[in-house]
């Protein structure tokens, strides 16, 4: 049995890295069709961290009906993340999160994304349109900000059977279709290779704080 904590002891978790995970209920067929339509119009796309896959340019202004629904969902949960994580902070003005850019990822078999972070933004995230929910489809991996220390110096070799979310060098999440993830933009991450014959489709995004006069006005606009 675990020993009770002494009354004179308190624990504070410093420098947290919250990752929000949400299950949405959007029309995946419509969003798949939308993604391939954008790829057809923009065959070249852009090449940043992807290896073999295709990424679109910024599609923030696209007016596809289901994509607009997705943006509204993302904005809603960005505000929830902001309130939960940044709620104890003091700002000079009324601050909320605003979508800065958003793009589509299509990865076929053996395509993957290298380790990277998202500069010039506060929060980032990804919404999965098409993923079969297996590791063969490609996990998303998050790296501990002090991963070198966790790997080399924190524990004697062979002592840990299973690390936890504080001591792990890398934590992986197996995506599923209609899953939305939101995390700090400075959190380094990668996407493992798609080993399936099916396309893996997702939409990634960045946000940053914006000034608003009234929260209700911001929500009405979005």
What's the pLDDT score for residue 160?
A: 79
Residues 6+ apart with CB under 8 A from 37: 64
- Average pLDDT of the residues in 99-127: 96
> Does residue 13 fall inside a structural domain?
no
What's the pLDDT score for residue 158?
A: 73
What's the pLDDT score for residue 221?
A: 46
> Does residue 34 fall inside a structural domain?
yes
User: Which position has the higher pLDDT, 158 or 11?
Assistant: 11
> Does residue 144 fall inside a structural domain?
yes
DSSP3 helix / strand / coil % (the chain, rounded to 5): 25, 30, 50
CB-neighbour burial class of residue 81 (10 A; exposed 0-12, middle 13-18, buried 19+): buried
What's the pLDDT score for residue 116?
A: 95
What is the total residue count of the chain?
Answer: 222
Global pTM value:
0.90
- Average pLDDT of the residues in 100-111: 96
User: Which position has the higher pLDDT, 215 or 116?
Assistant: 116
What's the pLDDT score for residue 13?
A: 85
Question: pLDDT tens across 13-44, in order?
Answer: 889 899 999 999 999 999 999 999 999 999 99
Question: pLDDT tens across 165-220, in order?
Answer: 888 899 999 999 999 999 999 999 999 999 999 999 999 999 999 998 755 444 44
> Does residue 11 fall inside a structural domain?
no
- Average pLDDT of the residues in 113-142: 96
Residues 6+ apart with CB under 8 A from 178: 23, 24, 25, 26, 28, 128
| Pairing mode of beta strands 140-143, 189-191 | antiparallel
- Average pLDDT of the residues in 80-101: 93
Domain with 207 in it: 20-212
Question: pLDDT tens across 131-151, in order?
Answer: 999 999 999 999 998 888 877
Domain count along the chain: 1
> Does residue 161 fall inside a structural domain?
yes
List the one residue out of 118, 124, 75, 117 whose CA is nearest residue 96.
75
> Does residue 10 fall inside a structural domain?
no
User: Which residues on neighbouring strands pair with residue 16, listed in sequence order?
Assistant: none
pLDDT band of residue 155 (cuts 50, 70, 90) is low
Question: pLDDT tens across 38-49, in order?
Answer: 999 999 999 777
> Does residue 149 fall inside a structural domain?
yes
> Does residue 89 fall inside a structural domain?
yes
pLDDT band of residue 222 (cuts 50, 70, 90) is very low
- pLDDT surpassing 60 at residue 106: yes
Q: What is the CATH number of the domain that holds 70?
A: 2.60.120.620
């Amino acid at each position: 049995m675990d020993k009770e904590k002494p009354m004179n002891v308190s624990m504070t978790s410093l420098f947290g890295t919250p990752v929000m995970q949400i299950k949405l209920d959007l029309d995946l067929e419509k969003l798949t069709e939308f993604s391939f339509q954008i790829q057809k119009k923009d065959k070249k796309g852009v090449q940043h961290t992807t290896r073999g896959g295709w990424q679109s340019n910024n599609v923030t202004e696209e007016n596809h009906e289901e994509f607009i629904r997705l943006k509204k969902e993302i904005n809603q949960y960005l505000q929830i993340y902001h309130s939960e994580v940044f709620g104890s902070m003091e700002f000079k003005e009324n601050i909320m999160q605003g979508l800065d850019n958003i793009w589509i990822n299509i990865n076929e078999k053996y395509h993957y994304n290298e380790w990277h972070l998202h500069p010039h933004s506060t929060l980032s995230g990804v919404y999965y349109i098409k993923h079969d929910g297996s590791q063969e489809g490609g996990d998303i991996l998050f790296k501990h900000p002090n991963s070198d220390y966790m790997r080399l110096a924190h524990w004697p070799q062979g002592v840990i059977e299973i690390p936890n979310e504080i001591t792990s060098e890398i934590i992986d999440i197996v995506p599923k279709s209609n899953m939305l993830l939101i995390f700090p933009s400075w959190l380094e991450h990668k996407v493992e290779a798609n080993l399936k014959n099916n396309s893996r489709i997702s939409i990634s995004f960045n946000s940053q704080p914006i000034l608003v006069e009234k929260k209700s006005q911001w929500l009405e606009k979005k």
